[in-house]
Every structure is written in C-alpha cells, then in structure tokens.
Copies of this chain bind each other. A is one copy, B any other.
Amino acid sequence: MHRTGPDALDCLYAQRRSPDITQQIPPAGNQRVTLATVARHAQVHVSTASRALSDDAAGVSTETVRRVRELAVMLGYRRDVGAAGLRTGSSRLIGVLVPRLTDIVLATIYESIDVAAGAAGYSTVVANTLDDTDHRRSHLDAMLSRRIDGVIIGDSRIGDTAAYELQKLGVPYVLVMRKLEGHLSITTDDFLGGRLAAEHLLGLGHRRVGVIAGDVLASTGIERTQGFRQAYEAAGYPVDDRYVVSSGFDTRGGLAAGVQLLDLAEPPTAIFAVNDFIALGAMGAVRDAGKRLREEVALVGYNDIDIAATLPVPLTSVRSALGDMGRLSVEALLLRMKGQAADPVLLPPVLVPRATTVGVVH
C-alpha cells in the first residue's frame, strides 16, 4: 500500500475492511456483444439489425424491429460509435476550447454547452488551453485526429490562429465568450457591460477610478475596458492610462493589479475589475492596504458568479447570461454543421449593485 500520510493508523483506516481492491478482476470469458451478435440471435442479417436499431427503422417490418431491439437490450448491446463514425464520417463529437476550467465562468459555459450538445445527440470533449499557443495546438490536433464534427472556441485571443486554421480546414466552428474580428461569435455585450459599470460608479460620485483590465489580448477585457473608459470620457472624466492595468484573469492577477493601483500617489476611489475573480484579488489588495471596501475603495466585478452574492462584503457585479451563451453557441454550431448560416449573438448584461458600491444591501 502506497503510504504518504503522516499517520499510519489513519492510512489504514480507509481500506482496512477491503480484501482485494488493488487488483481488478478482468472480465469473465464473455465476448464483446456486437451488432453481429444481436443479428445472429435475431436470425437476421447484420444489415437488417443495423437498420432496425436506427432511429427511423425504414424498410424493416415492425415485427423485426421489435425483435431486434428487444434482443439488443437483453444482450446488453451497445453501438460502437467509433466504428459507426468510421463509416458515416461523423464522430458526433464537439470539441470545446477553454482557457481553463478552474475559471468558474468558463466551467459554467462549458456545462451549458455540454447539456445542449447532449440534447442534440453529441458528446463534447473539452480542452484546457491555458491561453497558451502550444497547448492549444496540441489539443486541437488531438481533436482533429478524432475527427471532431465541430469546435466551440472559448479561448480566442487577438492574433490567435486556431479559428483561421479551422476555417481553412473546413471544420465548422463558433466562438463563444470572446470575439475575434471576422469570425462568428456568441458573446455578451462587453462594451455595454463596461459602460454600465462606469455609469453606476459615476452616479455614485466617483471621479478618480481605476480599471483592472485582464488579458490585453482577450476581447472581453478589451471591450469591457473600452466601454468603461468611453463612458467616463463622455462624462468628462477620462481615465488616465496609469489607472488602467492589465492582469491575468484569476485572483492572483487581481491581487497584484490591485496593489499596483492602490500604491498610486492618488489611489482611485473605485475600481472596475473586468471579472469577479480579479475583483476577489482586488479585495485582498484593499484589505492588505488597510482600507475599507466601499467606504474607501468601491469595487465592481464582472460576470456575477454565484459566490459574489455571499461574500462577507457582497460584490457589485455585471451579470452576463453565461448559460445562454453556451446554449446559443451550440445552436449556432449545429446550424453551421448543417451548412447553414448562423447569426452572431450579443447578449445584454445587467448590473447588480451590492455592498462593495452601495450602502444598502437588498
């Protein structure tokens, strides 16, 4: 037994009543039950069995269909979709590229993609690309080797070639969450979201504000920042470049960027973080600077993930319909896979005010 625990007693605790779990018993002498097996039992040709089991059992008598299907379940037959795909040319597999699944936003989108794809009879494979070209390359290669039917790209960045490559290969694809000039994408209106955040803070009287802008190559961060700055400029309070810092999309990045902003000679009275995790990191920075949230530094996040509402100081955030994005991206992809045209989608965000910006929590 592999022991790594500091306490042998505790290590033994778990498995002490289990006799032989380290060795898995191989299957009994049962052969794999294939279409031929079913056909043999039903006394029909394998081609007939295949037709009988297909969705529209055309050209097969109802009696035969009944018999074949009954035997199929009795024998525990399971169609080999790989073999079927070899013949039909379709793997019934949709690939999904995300920066990382530990980002709850992408995980949420992926969940809804998987549900929608499943409803349409497709399985999904997801790849963490870590916003890194090599990872994306190798994962995309692996997907193509499995003859993926279509790809949903959730990690596109400016200058990224994945979308172009798929276009060239003729593999249907759709972008979700992040946009890329010239490619079909299903996103929320990040520009508007940034503006909403700005208008909220403007209405509260904040004039000197900072922005934690996220990845400079991701359209989300770019457009949210643009929308925000544009609204502030229009109001007559342009945001100085020194008050806009880029960052990773995670807590760590938010912390570092928050520290940077609060270290300014004249620190901002409010911070707009283009994503809730960044905002969470910024909270840490505010705390470390010995300042109080809202009273001294207001904070607005983006996406309104679940935990935003239950934090010790609930976070004001711009809510985007993540589930809808996922679902709609699948719909668009399915259209393209049928060779039809699909429309880009821009979902409207909504600002949810909470304690990091306003006194009264509702």
Binding site for B on A (CB under 8 A): 1-7, 10-11, 13-15, 17-18, 21-28, 78-83, 85-86, 91, 100-102, 104, 107-108, 110-111, 114, 118, 123-128, 138, 141-142, 144-147, 167, 169-170, 172-173, 179, 181-185, 187, 189, 191-192, 250-252, 254-255, 277, 280-281, 283-284, 286-287, 293, 306-307, 309-314, 336, 339, 341-348
- Contact at A14–B187, with CB atoms within 8 Å? yes
Can you report 9 A-B residue pairs in the complex whose CB atoms are below 8 A from each other? Answer: A7-B189, A10-B191, A11-B189, A14-B179, A83-B86, A251-B306, A251-B310, A283-B312, A284-B311
How many Å from the CB of A23 to the closest CB on chain B? 4
- Contact at B252–A306, with CB atoms within 8 Å? yes
Q: A2 is contacted by which of B18, B313, B344 (Cβ under 8 Å)?
A: B344
- Contact at A312–B293, with CB atoms within 8 Å? yes
Binding site of A, secondary structure by majority: helix, strand, loop or mixed?
A: mixed
- Contact at B14–A344, with CB atoms within 8 Å? yes
- Contact at A5–B192, with CB atoms within 8 Å? yes
- Contact at B344–A21, with CB atoms within 8 Å? yes
Q: Which residue of B lies closest to A282 (CB)?
A: B310
Q: CA of A54 to CA of B344 in the docked complex: distance in angstroms?
A: 43
How many Å from the CB of A102 to the closest CB on chain B? 5
- Contact at A82–B85, with CB atoms within 8 Å? yes
- Contact at A255–B310, with CB atoms within 8 Å? yes
The 7 A-B pairs with the shortest beta carbon distances in the complex, nearest first, are A27-B170, A284-B310, A2-B343, A22-B341, A101-B107, A23-B341, A82-B82
